[in-house]
Amino acid sequence: MDYLRELYWRLKHPIASIRRYIRIKSFPVGTLVEDCRYHPCIVTENTEDGDIEVLSFASLKLSFCSLFHCGVTKLTPKELNERIDIYHKDGEKGLVINSGWTEKDWEAFEKEWR
């Protein structure tokens, strides 16, 4: 049944389907990315649904992101190394502040979620 629903959607929305396919294929295994936690990562798996598995160079842990629901962005090797250095110097706080958070945002997050 899911297959028929997917087929119907693809036939009804060909442009969206093509854009989705292009987005998925533009993040192959080995792509350097910043995941939704602002960690510098490398893609280790990419599914046809747009879900990716990434290995964080900061925490050395695997995590999962969605190419359509998370803010995954590509990184250059230079940007990757800069973010690794920030993580080793200032931890996660440094990564999120480097990505546009304020000190006040970080403190509110820490208070609410940690």
Average pLDDT over every residue of 46-68: 92
pLDDT of 63 reads 93
Say yes or no to pLDDT of 64 above 90.
yes
- pLDDT recorded at residue 80: 95
| DSSP E strands, the chain | 32-34, 40-46, 51-56, 62-66, 73-74
The pLDDT value given to residue 12: 67
pLDDT (0 to 100) of residue 10: 65
Considering the entire predicted model, what is its pTM? 0.78
Average pLDDT over residues 31-47: 94
Instruction: Please state the rounded mean pLDDT for residues 35-40.
Output: 93
In 57-113, where do the E strands start and end? 62-66, 73-74
> Is the confidence at residue 14, as pLDDT, over 80?
no
pLDDT of residue 13: 63
Average pLDDT over residues 88-107: 92
Beta bridge partners of 73: 34
Residue whose tokens read 């998925």: 24
